[in-house]
Amino acid sequence: MKKKHPWKIILYVVLGVGALIMIAPFLWMISTSLKSIDEVFSYPPSIIGDTIRWDNYIRIGERYPFGRFFINSTIVTSVVVVCQLFTSSLGGYVFARLKFRFRDTIFLVYLATMMIPIHVTLIPIFLIMRFLGLIDRLPALILTDIATAFGTFLMRQFYLNIPASLEDAAKIDGCNPFTTYWRIFLPLSKPALATLGVFIFMGMWNDFVRPLIFINSVENMTLTLGLANMQGSYSTDWPVLMAGTFISLLPVLIFFLFAQDFFVKSVTLSGLKE
């Protein structure tokens, strides 16, 4: 029998207060998003207003095409997720399983590019997008991320641990490197793909710098940039702003509730980034 430690109670209190501080801003956001503007500017603040104002969630779309922002974010995010999962698994497979000269050196150089901050290359990338006529168009937000060193690295680490016997069997069956990848390695890597997918999803959904630089028209904005602009013109309409913020968080939040372990894993792995 273990006796109850008094320090455990202290631990619970500290963690409880800490956790409350962490989620308080989110609760405050939800609470504000359901109040009328008069209640928001009253003292002392209440947790729940006298009436629950769902119409704040409708008013988000009044002055800005909020639905459009959501669709744009969805398009950019899903295209990048699909493309990058494909190029990363392909690249990871090549670096893990095929043999060629200077393979590990080339890989290391590629890996080193993860350390380049986006801000350092932003001006030339902007010029490339301008040259390609992609300024103010969604492909500008997609192209730079259809293949990344980090994704390739992650998949390579996974493929390194697959037994060679599978590969040999495929070779005997007459598979070429691509069909070996497609029929054997890709189906095996579902867990790794899910982890990487969550990571890409989070990064793209929350991206702000590139939309800020590449997108000008309101109808082409993603959620982050759209919200930033809404803040400019709704500066004191906190209920509407908080409603918009909450909706922008919802997809990631829902994803997180259902796939917490993948999130945790992807973020831990992303620690290897940079």
Residues from 41 through 100 that contact another protein (CB under 8 A)? 41-45, 83, 86-87, 90-91, 93-94, 98-100
Smallest distance from the beta carbon of 10 to another protein, in angstroms?
10
Smallest distance from the beta carbon of 6 to another protein, in angstroms?
12
Residues touching another protein: how many (CB under 8 A)? 96
Which stretches does DSSP call E strand in 159-216?
none
Give yes or no for a cis peptide into 44 (omega within 30° of 0).
Answer: yes
Token output for 105: 């050196």
Site string for another protein, 135-164 (x = CB under 8 A): --------xx-xxxx--xx---x-------
CB-count burial class (<10 Å; 0-12, 13-18, 19+) for 6 = exposed
Token output for 106: 């080339």
Q: Which C-beta is closer to another protein: that of 61 or that of 229?
A: 229
Contact between residue 202 and residue 259 where contact means Cβ atoms under 8 Å apart: no
Smallest distance from the beta carbon of 148 to another protein, in angstroms?
8
Q: At what angle do helices 190-205 and 238-258 cross, to 10 degrees?
A: 170
227 binds another protein (CB under 8 A): yes
Stretch in the footprint of another protein (CB under 8 A) among 60-68, 163-171, 189-197, 220-228: 220-228
213 binds another protein (CB under 8 A): yes
Residue 99, phi-psi category: left (phi > 0), alpha (psi -120 to 50), beta (remainder) = beta
Q: Which C-beta is closer to another protein: that of 165 or that of 216?
A: 216
One of 63, 178, 190, 191 touching another protein (CB under 8 A): 178
Q: How far apart are CA 205 and CA 255, in angstroms?
A: 12
